[in-house]
A and B are shown apart, each in its own frame.
Chain A
Amino acid sequence: MNKLRRLLLIAVVIGIGFWVWTAWFTNPKQVIKNRLNQVARLASFEPNEGAISRLAKIQRLGLLFAEDVQVMVDIPGYEAHTFSRREEVMQVVMASPRLGNGLSAQFLDMNIQLGSGDQSALVELTLEAKINGESDILAQEMKFTLKKIKGDWLITRVETVKTLKP
């Protein structure tokens, strides 16, 4: 019985130690991954999601971007656009007519490269987006640049990558 108690105590100590380690010494790559997954969640909308809920999501989404963020979008079949500043990006998302139909977005295959001193990061990933009611999915390779600003990882640049060069 004593042996069992000792084993249980050791397991508990190891568990607490692991939790403290992960809470205090967080891996920046994991923080960035969580941050980008949060972006994908906030950029996903249920069909006929209420305007207030949508607005709240877009406000929260905006907080994940730096104020002077640069977004360059060039998707085959669509006109290329460049947006600078967080407010402009939020306005574009808010005004998107397709959001009403519902959109689910997720980021796959994230390759994270940390910059010097772990103060910046370059992330290559694939966006998989599906608009409700449409059979095709949008698969788009993207590059995100993040910087640690006042202790928080914020997105400073977003650009689409041409997997197939025309």
Chain B
Amino acid sequence: MAGEINTAGNAGWIQTIAIGRRPKRTMVRLAVLIGLALCLFLIFSFVLMPIRINGPSMMPTYQNGQINFINRLAYLNHEPQRGDVVGVRLSGPHLMFVKRIVALPGETISFSGGCVCIDGKPLDEPYLKFPSTDWEAPPKRLGPQEYYVVGDNRSMPFEDHQKGATERRRILGKIVLHGES
């Protein structure tokens, strides 16, 4: 008899640990937690993609190793703008370039004496802290779906800096946290 009472007592204790004293309330809490986890998973997978900056090309605006987010809904209502810092995907979203848009579709871009020229006129770039004096490139006309992206660190050698025209479909979204300005 004593053994039976003890077993029942143990079962009750385990049940209390597993589902609490009020099972209905525990289920509600569990559902809320699962819902919250699912929401966070969906947000961080499809809306705010977490990224870690690697490399010096966006310095000093964004430092190597910094964590940031790409807002994938940023361009639902409007097209990317000049000056936006965007994520440009490679073959998929797991690795991307973080660059600034300096030229828009249909424009002609060139580099002259380190300055970006759009349709022959120098572009005002107040965000530049590491400007260049020797970047040179002949005029290049962008296609109707092409944007020209470049990093903020223009003190790098021209050849070592990844920059160029990219198609609209490759632009995943806009960076969320502003860097040093």
Contacts and interface: CB of A to CB of B under 8 A. Distances in A.
Nearest to A78: B159
Interface string B158-177: 01101111100010000000
B95 A139 contact: yes
Contacts of A109: 90-95
A110 interface: yes
Contact of A164 (B55, B94, B137, B149): B149
A163 B90 contact: yes
B62 interface: no
Contact of A165 (B55, B56, B160, B166): B166
Residue of B56, B92, B159 ringed by the most chain A CB atoms within 10 A: B92
B88 A163 contact: yes
Contacts of A142: 91
A111 B166 CA distance: 19
Contacts of B95: 108-109, 126, 128, 139
A77 B160 CA distance: 5
Contacts of B159: 76-77
A126 B54 contact: no
B145 interface: no
A107 to B, nearest CB: 9
A22 interface: no
Nearest to B149: A164
B64 interface: yes
Given A136-B55, A164-B149, A126 B164 contact: no
A166 B94 contact: no
A111 B92 CA distance: 8
Contacts, number: 63
Nearest to B164: A164
A135 B162 contact: no
Contacts of A125: 91
Residue of B88, B91, B93 ringed by the most chain A CB atoms within 10 A: B91
B163 A166 contact: yes
B92 A126 contact: yes
B72 to A, nearest CB: 16
Interface in B123-149: 137, 149
Interface in B41-79: 54-56, 64
Residue of A110, A128, A136, A165 ringed by the most chain B CB atoms within 10 A: A165
A56 interface: no
Contact of B160 (A76, A108, A128): A76
Contacts of B92: 108-111, 126
B155 to A, nearest CB: 15
Given A108-B95, A164-B163, A164-B165, A135 B64 contact: yes
B145 to A, nearest CB: 12
Interface of A: 76-77, 108-111, 124-126, 128, 135-137, 139-142, 161-166
Closest 9 A/B residue pairs (Cβ): A109-B92, A164-B164, A126-B90, A141-B90, A109-B91, A108-B94, A126-B91, A124-B91, A77-B160
Interface of B: 54-56, 64, 88, 90-95, 97, 99, 137, 149, 159-160, 162-166, 170
